[in-house]
A = this chain, B = another copy of it.
């Protein structure tokens, strides 16, 4: 990359271990869900909660849910970007709509607030297959 830095100085990009990534993921509430249907990529902001190693969100009937049922491989990203530093955690996994009454009832107990004043009866669960996280330190671009 042609970028020299003192090892003691903060690195601009630090890969986070899985445990730290999970901690950050669990600390957030707003994420963005990306999925692909027939080659068309789509992305949605969702309110979410982490529970026992899975990500849960609710959705009203609509295109998002339809897409999820068609193609279940998703990417989910959460970040917190401030002026000087930030972090980003990305989960890859599979999404499915909760259908058993027992699991819907369990999900209904999660501290998952819905923003919109519309009924959202559908819970979606993402089972991660991979989690990656990066801590970012911002500054002016180095001289070229």
B-binding residues in A (CB < 8 A): 1-3, 5, 12-13, 30, 32, 34-36, 39-45, 60-61, 73-77, 79, 81, 86, 88, 90, 92, 114-121, 136-142, 144
Contacts and interface: CB of A to CB of B under 8 A. Distances in A.
Contacts of A61: 1
**Oligomer copy total:** 2
Contact of A41 (B45, B74, B117): B74
Contact of A117 (B12, B45, B76, B120): B12
Contacts of A92: 40-42
A74 B136 CA distance: 24
Contacts of A30: 81
8 contacts: A42-B90, A44-B77, A44-B88, A81-B115, A116-B136, A117-B139, A119-B144, A120-B141
A117 B88 contact: no
B118 A1 contact: yes
Contacts of A88: 44-45
A140 B118 contact: no
A136 B60 CA distance: 14
A125 B45 CA distance: 23
